[in-house]
Amino acid sequence: MVGALNLLTGFLLDFFLGDPGGRWHVVVGIGKLIEGLEKALFPQERHFRREFVLGFVVVVAMVGGLGVSYFFLRRFLRSYSLFLFSVAEVYLIFNFLSLRTLLRRGEEVKKALDEGDLPRARKSLKHLVGRDTEYLSEWEVVRGCVESLAESFNDGVMAPLFYISLFGALGGLIYKTTNTLDSMLGYRDFRYFFFGFASARFDDILNFLPARLSILFIACAASVLGRWGRSALSVAFRDARKHESPNAGWPESAMAGALGVRLGGVNYYGGKREETAFLGDFVLDLTPERIGEALSIVRLGSFLALGFFTVISILVGRIW
């Protein structure tokens, strides 16, 4: 029961307060550790085997080092003071969830579009996506925002809740460390193709189940809100595997089905053109209204997921 209460408290703190930000944010500290390890271990002389091995060492050092350290710390805190244990768990859970920030970023894009300020919408979208946004049309801004809301629903809400419900804040720590490794090192460019390989693959493994579960909550939320819940499921099972990512295609295609829109297409990264598979069907236009609908689905889907994983946490607590 303590684990479930910690999960609920951490979620509500994130929903009402948002990220703590700055140097107090645990994920920022994780990022600095990764940056330091990269500087120390990235080989001066390029060789794919050496880069692959050292990239694997970074993953083991970060995930294993932080995981083992907190495992013993939480054992000590739990035996010393249940209150201090709960404070530590809640603070970490608060840091590992990013629903409020995700909603705020999406609302900023929609507000700019509603006010007819396309340049501001493009600038706001930069906080959500890695693609070039300077020359996007209105419907392309909407597409990018909806795609990011769907994918981040898994990365920022579903997956952390999944692992926290099973293993407490320790599970969240391992997931967010892996996810941050992927976001910093898991690129397919010349520098990181081999060095970041282990980071990207481990992130794929940890996201495998949460990404597929996410379509259920998107579909349920869509049905409650009067959107196309059944279509969310059918489109996800039809189109998810078309996506380059083994996981991102599931929430994105489910969101496409729920909204009745087609996602995917041409994006530019650093001026380089990349084509992604189309997800969903062209039923409705990609207007700013679609962002509002996606935000509602993400918000309700997150609370549905909270209820589900709170029950899981209670059951796991009884077993353990």
- pLDDT tens profile 187-244: 888 788 888 999 999 999 999 999 999 999 999 999 999 999 999 999 999 999 999 9
Number of domains in the chain: 1
Phi-psi region of 37 (alpha: psi -120 to 50; beta: other; left: phi over 0): alpha
Within 10 A of 170 (CB to CB), how many other CB atoms are there? Answer: 20
- What percentage of the chain carries pLDDT values higher than 90? 83
Q: What is the DSSP string of 137-148?
A: -HHHHHHHHHHH
Per-residue pLDDT averaged across 272-299, rounded?
95
Examine the pLDDT at 320 and tell me if it is beyond 90: no
Domain residues for the domain of 19 are 2-319
CA dihedral 54, 24, 302, 136 (to 10 degrees): -70
- Per-residue buried b or exposed e for 70-104, using 16+ beta carbons within 10 Å of the residue's own CB: beeebeebbeeeeeebbebbbbbbbbbbbbbbbbe
- pTM of this prediction? 0.93
